[in-house]
């Protein structure tokens, strides 16, 4: 016997079950995107590592040559390329932060789905407080915590984003030393 659903509701139909399905769908989509993104970033990381190794080999070989304008130009290109690669590697930090954020969204959706699915937990304020604490504890960036706190205080999305952006701006200098490789 199949469960009742929105397309064919019967006396067993439940908006809670429909909500859980949509929350699960959202969490699954986010998780799938994370997995796909990881594969792409892994390929890019391996490519950059290989390029850096080859560039170091070229640079070493150029250093063995006698001083000349072509040699010096080639060394200059190696140095410029190396700087661009380092800039690109630092830009990967964006992906790392995006991945963390998406993982937190997935955890939040899954936790929310679990509470909504359980009638004992759904109407228990302690369960909601526990979920909120678990979500906030998972955050590693102050801007995420500020966003969370603002939303729980009833701020609008726009207000919460401004608060988080302000925190992000003041802590940006602290994050610049992070390297992924």
Q: What is the DSSP string of 83-126?
A: HHHHHHHHHHHHHHHHHHHHHHHHHHHHHHHHHHH-HHHHT-HH
Calpha distance 143→97 (Å, rounded): 11
Q: How far is CA 178 from CA 28, 42, 64, 96, in A?
A: 30, 18, 34, 11
| pTM reported for the whole predicted model | 0.66
pLDDT of res. 177: 46
Written as six digits, the tokens of 82 are 């190396």
Tens digit of pLDDT per residue, the chain (181 long)?
A: 566 666 666 666 778 888 888 888 989 999 888 888 888 888 888 888 899 999 999 999 999 999 999 999 999 999 999 999 988 888 777 888 888 889 899 999 999 999 998 989 998 999 999 999 999 999 988 999 999 999 999 999 999 999 999 998 887 655 444 434 3
pLDDT of res. 11: 60
pLDDT of res. 180: 40
- Output DSSP code: residue 136: H
Task: Taking the CA atoms of 10, 14, 15 and 20 in sequence, report the sign of the dihedral they define.
Answer: negative
pLDDT of res. 5: 65
User: Contact, 47 vs 109, CB < 8 A?
Assistant: no
């Amino acid at each position: 016997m199949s469960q009742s659903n929105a397309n064919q509701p019967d006396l067993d139909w439940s908006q809670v079950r429909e909500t859980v399905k949509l929350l699960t769908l959202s969490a699954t989509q986010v998780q799938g995107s994370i997995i796909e993104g990881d594969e792409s970033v892994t390929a890019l990381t391996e490519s950059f590592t290989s390029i850096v190794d080859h560039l170091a080999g070229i640079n070493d070989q150029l250093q063995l040559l006698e001083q000349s304008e072509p040699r010096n130009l080639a060394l200059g290109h190696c140095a410029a390329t190396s700087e661009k690669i380092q800039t690109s590697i630092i830009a990967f930090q964006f992906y790392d932060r995006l991945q963390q954020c998406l993982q937190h969204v997935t955890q939040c959706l899954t936790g929310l789905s679990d509470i909504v699915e359980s009638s004992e937990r759904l109407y228990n304020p302690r369960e909601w407080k526990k979920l909120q604490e678990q979500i906030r504890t998972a955050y590693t960036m102050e801007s995420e915590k500020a966003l969370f706190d603002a939303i729980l205080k009833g701020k609008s999305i726009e207000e919460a984003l401004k608060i988080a952006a302000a925190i992000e701006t003041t802590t940006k200098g602290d994050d610049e030393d992070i390297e992924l490789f």
